[in-house]
Amino acid sequence: MSANQSPAGKQPTATYDSAFLRACRREPVPHTPVWFMRQAGRSLPEYLKVREGIPMLESCMRPELVAEITLQPVRRHGVDAAIYFSDIVVPLKAIGIDLDIKPGVGPVVANPIRTRADLARLRDLTPEDVSYVTEAYGLLTRELGATPLIGFAGAPFTLASYLVEGGPSRNHEHTKALMYGDPQLWADLLDRLADITAAFLKVQIEAGASAVQLFDSWVGALSPADYRRSVMPASSKVFEAVAGYGVPRIHFGVGTGELLGLMGEAGADVVGVDWRVPMDEAARRVGPGKALQGNLDPAVLFSTRQAVESKTREILDAAADLDGHIFNLGHGVLPTTDPDALTRLVEHVHTRTAR
């Protein structure tokens, strides 16, 4: 049973009629809903205070700390949805991959996966591996009430990139070398990661997630033909695995303007758009039947209040004819963003779009 549905004969849950979930379903909304990727994190002084001295991965495994960090932007900004505080490599750590998140670098894998023998290190993920996730969701859903909670996971391609490269990469040379040079091993790797990712999303949905987002942060490095052939089957497998829960499925990547239609085709109900493509053009590329999410450039928030409002109006005007639009940034909140700028942005979008 999903967080948006209830057994036959009973009323839907408190989140069902929220502006966020209505927009995901492309239904009329009282205002355009707003949330921000990376809204829970480094831009908030209260986050820096509670995280002080605690490594990133450890902070993702402390249910009470996760709940507090997840709630902070909801309290401060009045956003229309919370997003679960975690990291895309958490399920990999949970199954025993030797990795760490190094400050200023990102996820670093001790022993990259590049051979068929390495696949054996990617065992199935069980709910017991991430029991702290279930516990944190229990704390959060009680506290959030009618505010939806978004679960998330890293998409198979992006997880594969970290595993194959050994960490973040500008050119993804090892990843592409494997993808082109041994397509069967590549397909088997992504298929294994699809199973792990789907299992991680299922844990979150069954614990109370109202929607889930699949982050494919690095897939913009690929051409449409490579995406369709070498990535889309695994992403589709993830979306199909959670389809029966009835929660909206969001798909987002960076630099994916040429892939927007395929990302929707992979099985998403909502397609995230970065700032490089206007919302009306994104709608044309994606086609009918999908809601869209986005797409203010995060760097705009460092400009004047007038400039932020002007760029926001451009986005809202471009999205005016969409069946479903969720306002977001075109990527995550930058660490040095003024939190007050985010609070003002939420208020501006709500006021300007009030029906």
pLDDT at 12: 60
Q: Which residues are annotated as a binding site?
A: 38-42, 87, 162, 217, 331
Within 10 angstroms of residue 44's Cβ, the number of other Cβ atoms is: 21
Residue 249 makes CB contacts below 8 A (sequence gap 6+) with: 211, 212, 213, 214, 239, 242, 243, 267, 268, 269, 270
Residue 79 makes CB contacts below 8 A (sequence gap 6+) with: 34, 35, 36, 39, 73, 346
pLDDT at 7: 34
By annotation, the residues acting in catalysis are: 38, 42, 51, 87, 162
pTM of the predicted model as reported, rounded to 2 decimal places: 0.95
pLDDT at 6: 41
pLDDT at 11: 46
Strands 106-109 and 99-102: antiparallel
Q: Which residues are annotated as a binding site for substrate?
A: 38-42, 87, 162, 217, 331
DSSP-derived secondary structure for 174-208: HHHHHHHH-HHHHHHHHHHHHHHHHHHHHHHHHHT
Q: Report how far Cα 329 is from the mean position of its chain's Cα atoms.
A: 12
pLDDT at 9: 37
Give me the average pLDDT of each 10-residue run along the chain (355 residues): 42 86 98 97 96 96 98 98 97 97 92 96 98 98 97 98 96 97 98 98 98 97 98 98 97 97 97 98 97 98 98 98 96 97 98 96
Angstrom distance (rounded) from CA 342 to CA 78? 10
Spatial contact of 218 and 106, defined as CB atoms under 8 Å apart: no
